[in-house]
Amino acid sequence: MNRYDVGNTLILASPRFWLLPLLEERGLEPKGEVRPAVERAFQLYNSRHLEARTLEGALALWRDFHRTLLLGLGLEEERAEEIAQYLIQNWQDPRFWPLAPYAREVLQTLRERGYLLAVVSNWDATLPHILEALGLSPYFQHLAVSALSGYAKPDPRLFQEALSALGVPTATHVGDSEEDRLGAEALGLPFLRVDHLGLFGGLSSLKEVLDFLP
């Protein structure tokens, strides 16, 4: 069995891949520093995502996330509200959830090799719908989503949920964060760190995962 985180593992969550291109299309440039704005927005998201158990609640959270991010990037309030609303109206558009390079190919190869696949992710109630919109749902036999399960990584119960759902005693967990590592290690599971941005060290591409899972 193999288990995947989603944000910054299968989907590139950094705004450089989905928000900055949208702003450029509209002739807008960030006036504030990007990194602090991103950190504040994700702090907001992380503090509230466990409560976002319904689509209505999740979309309200994403609206606040987008608005916080856009204001942090120096947009005027009216323009930030306009773009945040646009993103919510188009929340299932795949261009706002860009796949990491080789994501689909790696999942397909692992399925062909006979691996059972599950998601273990700190996310809200939108995740099953996003994976469906991206065409990734058929690859996974179970989705362990924090907001739907009631506990978040690094809580090992989220990892155990995936193991129990698939009826296996162990699995390799693929993720990008310390929460991924700590949760996997709490259950004695192998962990592969993927670092698409080259910030923390680890595998530079999902394609390298295949070398560890023959």
pTM over 0.85: yes
Residue 120 is classified by DSSP as: E
pLDDT in tens, 163-207: 999 999 999 999 999 999 999 999 999 999 999 877 777 899 999
Task: Name the H helices within the chain.
Answer: 19-25, 34-48, 55-72, 77-89, 103-112, 127-133, 146-149, 156-166, 178-186, 209-212
The answer regarding whether domain 2-12+97-212 maps to CATH 3.30.565.10 reads no
pLDDT in tens, 117-159: 999 999 999 999 999 999 999 999 999 999 999 999 999 999 9
| DSSP-based three-state secondary structure for 154 | coil
Domain ranges of the chain: 2-12+97-212, 19-96
Name all contacts of 195-198 with Cβ < 8 Å and 24+ positions apart.
196/8, 196/12, 196/100, 196/101, 197/8, 197/14
